[in-house]
Chains A and B, each alone.
Chain A
Amino acid sequence: MKVFLASRIDRELKDYLASLGESDFQVHSVFRNSINLLTPSRMLITLAGPGSDLMPMGMLIQGFSELVLAGKNRVRLAGTFLHLPENQGLIDAGQAEVWPTNLESPLNPNRKEMGLALDYIENKLLQEEREGIASLAAVLAAKRRGGRTPSLNMYASFILEDLSLFLDAYGEGRLERAGQLARALIGFGPGLTPSCDDFMTALLLSLFYRTGDSLSRDLTAAFFETVVSLAKEKTNLISCQMIRQAARGHAGRLYLDTFAATVRGDLAALEPLVERLLVYGASSGADFLFGLYCALSRMPAVSTPVGAEPLRFEAGRGQNDLLKKNTG
């Protein structure tokens, strides 16, 4: 029997599989570089090859390219093994290296260096027209520098006003209002993960790790809850999971590493990450960068070390709940 070894696994997925013990998953979607399995509680587990980013609820599998799975196929979990259909063998998740998909240590932000990193991101975004909403970086730049407003693609043009209102509310710390305005953003734009969802993912990560300030925790947690509820209603399952995870401080390593490098102002680390992001997906990477730029450049001054005391959902909405929901 062919055994596919998982080389790396998200810590939460490992715990989750252990808590399930046995279950059936359905193949939800198949891409060139990843396969999503749908759990009975409508969570997605992402399988990918060893060269891919580890995603929240994901694992990297040696010999991934040899997996032949199609929509509706069933994969059975038994212990740490995932039994593949049609005698393809099984995936052994028990020996995988366990990695987090969240930031575990304080980021020690450097406000001045972060400013340089944000300038760098802005310059990269301005260098060429983008497919998604990242081209709005040119509008923000024109507004700030008093230049001419550039022509925009239809997505950017359509969302400009709503996004401006949202950012104004967000920048002023009026998160309740920002949550209401997020309705006009979630699920909008081109790509499998719509542009505004990638944008929102960056913004949620920034808020979660408190790159801001003195925003009330209750307000922030309520904002997270509103955005996640909107995502459940207004975007597809894959994008919804990305948003839900970001509201808990989790994201794929590319997004997380870029966020961390930006906050630290580590340009050496940031530059190659930005280059990767600018060609990531149709517009997802650029939209995420645009979100990061907006979120961090509009945040009030830092008063606590980033990541030192991350915000958590209140009881019933956090990590433990995630596990409970899926064991139930």
Chain B
Amino acid sequence: MIKVIVRENAYYDSVTLMLISREMKKLDGVEEVLVGMGTDLNLDLVKMLEMFLPELEKVTPNDLFIAAKFDESKVSMDELISSFEEQLNRKKEAHAGEYQPPTLRSALNFMPDANLVQISIPGQYAANEAEDALNQGLHVMLFSDNVPMEDELRLKQLAVDKGLLMMGPDCGTAIINGVPLCFANVVRRGRIGLVGASGTGTQEITVRIHQLGEGMSQVIGTGGRDLSETIGGLMMIQGIKALMADPDTEVIVLVSKPPAPSVEKKIYDLISKSDKPVVIDFIGGDAESIRQAGAIPCLSLEDAARKAVAVLRKETPVDFDGFDAPQEDIDQLVKEAVARLKPDQKYLRAFYTGGTLTDEAIKYLGSDHVIYSNIPLTPDQAMERMPGKEGHLCLDLGEDQFTRGRPHPMIDPLTRSEFFDTHVDESTALILVDVVLGYGSHENAAGVVADSVAQARARLETSGKDLIAIASVTGTDQDPQNLDESIASLEQAGITVMPSNAQAVRLVDLIMKAAGI
């Protein structure tokens, strides 16, 4: 049996046509289905398939036709027409699990109560999508990067006008109402709120707060450019106001690189009016200005977590620049490490996947050592200026120059493995790495780096040398990756795992100084 349906001057979007065609083909007894516009060539194909009927004689290229060949003992003409109509209406009747909304509008039809949209599409399209969402009263988390600065400013101004959050562009981490978004760790809910302009900085602080037994009320990301002169800290300020007004937040933490001076002033003016304690880690920023604004400055990301927890517990926050382990244990570690190095092993290789963690390492180590990097402290310490392989190198492998055309190393840690092959040699003394767990990160980031260290060690073994490898893991016991197994796999590879990035960096500093490198 052959049946043809013609819709004159009918224009259905091509996804609808595809759905109709696919679903009709699934019907038992259907041998062939052809859906197309009534062009000469499509009609030729119908003829070739022996489905041409007189109804098609007057079809024009502006008409849609469906031609079907089927066994009428198994399927009826009415069932075919029903299938056709059903597919046309499907978009109105889609159910969870089966339906992936192709547009924001269809997503909102599907989930009308949603009040936040997470956008991750190529940068050139992202601003329009974000604007559309804001205009519909939705908070936005914009993961996309490569969004022009003027678009960012416009979007954030719109968000402020509407009392909404515009997190991003290039915002990788947030936890809203307990839901981790993009790259975020699973931490318990609690009474500390955070506004962060840096992804892994935010992750490190939230993870340490979790480990100290407390939790997060809200974690609001802003995107890395928010505190620039141009953007003016619009979202940092919006976030602070939100946390000041949030009854579930008792302590506010801010984390970012140092803001532009005018932005810094606006933030300090605002927090000076806060009746909630504010802990600030503007990494490498001026502590005295923070104190004058009535807030608590920090020495590191870990220190920020410790101070936030202390003030929450009504304890006096004190600077922490040491180690969890007793000093004698640290001294022993340093002594053993130095003893394992040969005299010509002189250089540090720090391969980071997290940008803020890299920043923290460079700022700490850079005060006493010359550290070459792709994000150098000074232009003369740019990695291109390193004399051959002679020098200490600390790389943020998540920067654009290393991720063009490939995934971020937190997603695909094999990117970092390549640097072990090319940048670790017999002159290398120390390896420093971060391992970031949580949503978005690789399922076995620790295992991959453990393999890289083991292979590098094996290469050096032939010349009787060893490597000192030190790591920190930014992860919680509730993350999708297994924290204990991650640490165990690193330790089995002979990597010393420190409780935080700051402690790992301090240990590296002590070893470098003790070894005279």
On A, residues with C-beta under 8 Å from B are 7-8, 28-33, 36, 49-53, 60, 62-63, 65, 71, 131, 154-155, 158-159, 184-194, 196, 234-239, 253, 257, 267-269, 271-273, 276, 281-284
Say whether B18 contacts A29, CB under 8 Å. Answer: no
Say whether B128 contacts A60, CB under 8 Å. Answer: yes
Q: Measured between C-beta atoms, what is the minimum distance from A127 to chain B in Å?
A: 17
Q: B36-44, B161-169, B304-312, B485-493: which one contacts chain A?
A: B36-44
Interface string of B381-425 (1 = CB under 8 A from A): 000000000000000000000001100000000000000000000
Say whether B132 contacts A190, CB under 8 Å. Answer: no
Contacts of A51 in B (CB 8 A): 103-104, 125, 128-129, 132
Contacts of B11 in A (CB 8 A): 28-31, 36, 192, 236, 238
Say whether B61 contacts A235, CB under 8 Å. Answer: yes
Q: Is B478 an interface residue (CB 8 A)?
A: no
Q: Measured between C-beta atoms, what is the minimum distance from B8 to chain A in Å?
A: 11
The CA of A152 and the CA of B270, in the complex, are separated in Å by 66
Q: Measured between C-beta atoms, what is the minimum distance from A257 to chain B in Å?
A: 7
Contacts of A271 in B (CB 8 A): 405
Contacts of B192 in A (CB 8 A): none
Q: Measured between C-beta atoms, what is the minimum distance from B94 to chain A in Å?
A: 13
The CA of A185 and the CA of B9, in the complex, are separated in Å by 22
| B329-365 CB contacts (< 8 Å) to partner A | none
For chain B, the bracket of interface size reads 35 or more
The CA of A33 and the CA of B105, in the complex, are separated in Å by 9
Contacts of B405 in A (CB 8 A): 267-268, 271
Sample (9) of A-B pairs whose CB atoms are under 8 Å apart: A7-B131, A32-B103, A51-B104, A62-B131, A131-B18, A187-B40, A187-B42, A189-B36, A189-B42
Q: Is B48 an interface residue (CB 8 A)?
A: yes
The CA of A284 and the CA of B14, in the complex, are separated in Å by 8
Interface string of B81-124 (1 = CB under 8 A from A): 00000000001000000000001111000000000000001101
Say whether B122 contacts A234, CB under 8 Å. Answer: no
The CA of A93 and the CA of B32, in the complex, are separated in Å by 47
Contacts of A186 in B (CB 8 A): 39, 41
Contacts of B62 in A (CB 8 A): 236-237
Contacts of B48 in A (CB 8 A): 158
**Smallest CB gap from B32: residue in A:** A154
Say whether B129 contacts A50, CB under 8 Å. Answer: yes
The CA of A191 and the CA of B37, in the complex, are separated in Å by 7
The CA of A192 and the CA of B40, in the complex, are separated in Å by 15
Q: Is B198 an interface residue (CB 8 A)?
A: no
| B37-56 CB contacts (< 8 Å) to partner A | 37, 39-42, 44-45, 48-49
Say whether A272 contacts B121, CB under 8 Å. Answer: yes
Contacts of A272 in B (CB 8 A): 121-122
On B, residues with C-beta under 8 Å from A are 9, 11-15, 17-18, 21, 32, 34-37, 39-42, 44-45, 48-49, 61-62, 91, 103-106, 121-122, 124-125, 128-129, 131-132, 135, 404-405
- Do A234 and B39 contact each other (CB < 8 Å), given the known contacts A50-B129, A272-B122? yes
Out of A29, A52, A282, which one reaches B14, CB within 8 Å?
A282
Contacts of B404 in A (CB 8 A): 267-268
Say whether B18 contacts A283, CB under 8 Å. Answer: yes
Q: Measured between C-beta atoms, what is the minimum distance from A4 to chain B in Å?
A: 11
Contacts of A29 in B (CB 8 A): 11
Out of B41, B49, B128, B135, which one reaches A185, CB within 8 Å?
B41
The CA of A257 and the CA of B48, in the complex, are separated in Å by 38
The CA of A234 and the CA of B34, in the complex, are separated in Å by 18
Q: A154-B45, A272-B122 are in contact. List 5 more A-B contacts (CB 8 A).
A: A31-B12, A51-B104, A51-B132, A186-B41, A193-B14
Q: Measured between C-beta atoms, what is the minimum distance from B163 to chain A in Å?
A: 19
Q: Measured between C-beta atoms, what is the minimum distance from A167 to chain B in Å?
A: 17
Contacts of A283 in B (CB 8 A): 14, 18
Q: Measured between C-beta atoms, what is the minimum distance from A44 to chain B in Å?
A: 11
Say whether A33 contacts B103, CB under 8 Å. Answer: yes
- Do A281 and B132 contact each other (CB < 8 Å), given the known contacts A51-B125, A257-B124? no
Out of A7, A32, A63, A273, which one reaches B91, CB within 8 Å?
A32
Say whether B36 contacts A190, CB under 8 Å. Answer: yes
The CA of A267 and the CA of B406, in the complex, are separated in Å by 9
Q: Measured between C-beta atoms, what is the minimum distance from A85 to chain B in Å?
A: 19
**Smallest CB gap from A237: residue in B:** B62
4 nearest CB pairs, A to B: A187-B39, A282-B18, A188-B41, A29-B11
Say whether B105 contacts A188, CB under 8 Å. Answer: no
Say whether A276 contacts B21, CB under 8 Å. Answer: no
The CA of A239 and the CA of B219, in the complex, are separated in Å by 48
The CA of A275 and the CA of B38, in the complex, are separated in Å by 30
Residue from the set B35, B61, B103, B129 with the largest chain A CB neighbour count within 10 Å:
B61
- Do A281 and B15 contact each other (CB < 8 Å), given the known contacts A51-B125, A257-B124? yes
- Do A234 and B61 contact each other (CB < 8 Å), given the known contacts A158-B45, A239-B37? yes
Say whether A184 contacts B132, CB under 8 Å. Answer: no
Out of A32, A159, A187, A276, which one reaches B37, CB within 8 Å?
A187
Out of B35, B91, B103, which one reaches A190, CB within 8 Å?
B35
Q: Measured between C-beta atoms, what is the minimum distance from A287 to chain B in Å?
A: 10
Say whether B13 contacts A281, CB under 8 Å. Answer: yes
